[in-house]
């Protein structure tokens, strides 16, 4: 058996934990430990997680943090604990997800069959059954990413195992050797783009392989815990971190074109899609992202 350390970060996640713990407990693959990092939730997330842990068959390890470190550092706390405990794999997992009983086993088996360093499942929207992510890729000019199959019906087009260059880490199985080679998550992101940065370093800079395994599936309650699309929180961290990511990882003409595209989009498009307040937050966030490189 291959021991897996499942790492999940809580922040005001109380409402989604019941299905997360229940469907983890129903897994046909049993050799895992759940590492729960609570980032000083203001609701009863930690208490609820501890209560649910009393009735499941798997081991749970809790980290009750005294402040909100962000997703990246929260993941790092769990990753380091799993590796210290001798886990062969780390499974980074959101807790706003619902698994099938064979999700982890199929992901592990598919990863082995593909001889991959990392693996991700096919992910559906929880409420509609439409695809949320079937692997993905990095975009050239926008400095971001694209999900394959986004908002598409599952009509068979996304049923083939293949290597992909990107996928979000909301449910990603990773060999421990990847962290030993690539390093941990960059904690400066706090949230958003931390997984983009990690996958870029693994796939683009270290030439490691990421496999998409469509027989492994789950449902994702997208954005259940982070607020609406137009919140100041999202506008700030998406604007700040997209600029930091491009300046940190891109070079030459790619860096130049990405920054130019971003600045033109802010100048010409965002005044029609953002309120005056949101635009102000975005511009300040972009400047902050630039200063992070200095």
> Would you say 269 and 227 are in contact if contact means Cβ atoms under 8 Å apart?
no
**Tokens (6 digits) for 195:** 């997984």
* Separation between Cα atoms, residue 216 and residue 119, nearest integer Å: 10
DSSP H or E run through 129: none
Cβ neighbours of residue 75 closer than 8 Å, sequence gap 6 or more: 7, 9, 37, 92, 169, 184, 185, 194
The pLDDT of residue 33: 98
Dihedral over Cα of 224, 19, 116, 151: its sign: negative
What mean pLDDT is predicted for residues 62-67? 96
Cα–Cα distance, 120 to 20 (Å, whole number)? 17
pLDDT tens digits, one per residue of 103-121: 999 999 999 999 999 999 9
- The predicted model scores a pTM of 0.94
Is the model's pLDDT at 65 over the cut of 70?
yes
Arithmetic mean of pLDDT over the chain: 94
**pLDDT score of 224 more than 70:** no
137 secondary structure, DSSP code: E
Element (H, E) at 64: strand 59-65
Query: Residue 229: what pLDDT?
Result: 45
DSSP code for 188: G
Please give the Cα distance from 25 to 18 (Å, whole number).
11
Predicted pLDDT at 133? 98
Residue 93 and residue 6 in contact, taking contact as beta carbons nearer than 8 Å: yes
Q: How far is CA 71 from the centre of its chain?
A: 9
Exposed / middle / buried, residue 267 (Cβ in 10 Å: 0-12, 13-18, 19+)? exposed
Rounded to 5°, the CA angle 289-227-263 comes to 30
Residue 151: band (very low, low, confident or very high) from pLDDT cuts 50, 70, 90: very high
Residue 142: pLDDT band with limits 50, 70, 90: confident
Q: What is the mean pLDDT of residues 258-269?
A: 93
Residue 228 pLDDT grade (very low, low, confident, very high; cuts 50, 70, 90)? very low
């Amino acid at each position: 058996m291959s021991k897996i350390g499942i790492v999940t970060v809580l922040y005001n996640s109380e409402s989604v934990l019941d299905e997360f713990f229940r469907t983890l407990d129903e897994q046909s693959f049993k050799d895992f430990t759940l590492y729960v990092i609570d980032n000083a939730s203001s609701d009863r997330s930690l208490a609820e997680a501890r209560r649910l842990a009393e009735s499941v068959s798997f081991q749970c390890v809790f980290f009750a943090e005294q402040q909100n470190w962000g997703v990246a550092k929260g993941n790092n706390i769990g990753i380091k604990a799993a590796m210290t405990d001798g886990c062969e794999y780390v499974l980074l997992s959101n807790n706003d997800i619902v698994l099938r009983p064979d999700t982890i086993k199929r992901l592990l088996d598919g990863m082995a069959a593909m001889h991959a360093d990392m693996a991700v499942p096919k992910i559906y929207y929880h409420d509609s059954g439409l695809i949320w992510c079937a692997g993905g890729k990095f975009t050239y000019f926008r400095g971001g990413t694209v999900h394959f199959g986004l908002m598409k019906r599952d009509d068979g087009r996304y049923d083939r195992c293949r290597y992909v260059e990107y996928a979000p880490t909301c449910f990603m199985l990773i060999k421990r050797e990847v962290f030993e080679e690539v390093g941990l998550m960059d904690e400066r992101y706090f949230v958003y783009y931390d997984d983009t940065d990690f996958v870029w370093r693994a796939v683009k800079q270290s030439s490691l392989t990421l496999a998409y395994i469509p027989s492994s599936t789950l449902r994702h309650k997208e954005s259940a815990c982070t607020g609406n699309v137009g919140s100041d929180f999202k506008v700030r961290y998406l604007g700040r971190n997209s600029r930091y990511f491009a300046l940190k990882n891109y070079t030459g003409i790619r860096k130049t074109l990405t920054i130019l595209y971003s600045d033109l989009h802010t100048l010409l498009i965002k005044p029609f899609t953002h309120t005056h307040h949101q635009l102000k937050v975005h511009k300040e966030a972009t400047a902050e992202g630039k200063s992070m490189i200095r």
